[in-house]
A and B are shown apart, each in its own frame.
Chain A
Amino acid sequence: MRQAGMYSGILNGGMSGRTGPHLLPLARIKKIMKRSGEDVKMISGEAPIIFSKACELFIEELTQRSWKVTLQGKRRTLHKEDVASAVIATDVFDFLVNVVSESGANSEDTPVVMER
């Protein structure tokens, strides 16, 4: 009999089932990992599982920072420009600068300065 344990608790409301309570599809994550470079040939079974959690945390942080920009604009709808502003204002998101520029988001003249 399968017991609900610490694992389910950590994943916070993900679907429980035989495939495992993950919020993001592991096979897709694995495909993206393989696209990161020619060197990436073998990936351990645990790696996509860990990435599932890491991506969740990443999305949460990016969303929270973007939402702050939304609120400063006194709005209730999060737009892609808010995401772009959050990326520009956060050092650790430097690698995303090209991604948000390609999306066509116009960077503001005075980017919002936020502490990391």
Chain B
Amino acid sequence: MADEQDLLLPIANVGRIMKQILPPNAKVSKEAKETVQECVSEFVKFVTGEASDKCRKENRRTVTADDICWALSALGFDDHAEAIVRYLHKYREFERERLNQRVQNEVDSTRTKSGASDYKCIQAGKQTETPTPLLLFKVTDQNGSSSFTKLS
């Protein structure tokens, strides 16, 4: 059995997840952890294979997270599929928020760097429920006089 064939996830990580679900007094033999390691690799290959088949039939080249969700359901891991779909949505939402925050931070830093007269506060992305930090923007009217307005 070549090692290359059986690429495994680290036994420490696998063992940790197993211990998480077991009662505190439970013990797990090293061989049991190794067996579960092999099972997880097989699981990944099995589900990926199914997802990959779907992509091929649909003439797509990239296996996506949605394909994985579909494959989980198709192979009988219904409970997992539901939880994973929810997880995927939360992850995408989190990434969107993070991106919005990053764009906002870049806008803020641009504002402080430039001493320009006319600028607007740009709110990137859609409105979120998280409170935005205190913002100041400078308004210049037609006569050229400027004032600071606080936007809370």
Contact = CB atoms under 8 A, between A and B. Distances in A.
Interface residues of B, number: 64
B45 A35 contact: yes
A95 B51 CA distance: 16
Contacts of A41: 61
Contacts of A57: 79-80, 83-84
B46 A83 contact: no
Contact of B68 (A2, A10, A51, A96): A51
Given A54-B84, A57-B80, A96-B39, A49 B65 contact: yes
B44 A32 contact: yes
B16 A46 contact: no
Chain B interface helix/strand/loop/mixed:
helix
Contact of A99 (B18, B38, B90, B92): B38
B13 interface: yes
A106 to B, nearest CB: 13
A33 B83 contact: no
B109 interface: no
A83 B32 CA distance: 7
Contacts of B122: none
B64 A46 contact: yes
A39 interface: yes
A16 B35 CA distance: 29
B99 interface: no
Contact of B41 (A32, A77, A83): A32
Contact of A77 (B28, B61, B67, B79): B28
Contacts of A55: 9, 40, 43-44
Interface string B43-59: 11111110011011000
Given A7-B94, A91-B76, A42 B40 contact: no
B48 A33 contact: yes
Contact of B44 (A33, A56, A84, A93): A33
Interface of B: 5, 7, 9-10, 13-14, 16-18, 20-22, 25-29, 31-32, 34-36, 38-49, 52-53, 55-56, 61-65, 67-69, 72, 75-77, 79-80, 83-84, 87-88, 90-94, 97-98, 130
10 contacts: A6-B94, A36-B49, A37-B45, A37-B49, A42-B61, A47-B67, A50-B84, A50-B87, A51-B44, A95-B46
Given A37-B48, A43-B63, 7 more contacts: A25-B13, A28-B9, A32-B41, A33-B44, A39-B52, A50-B68, A53-B87
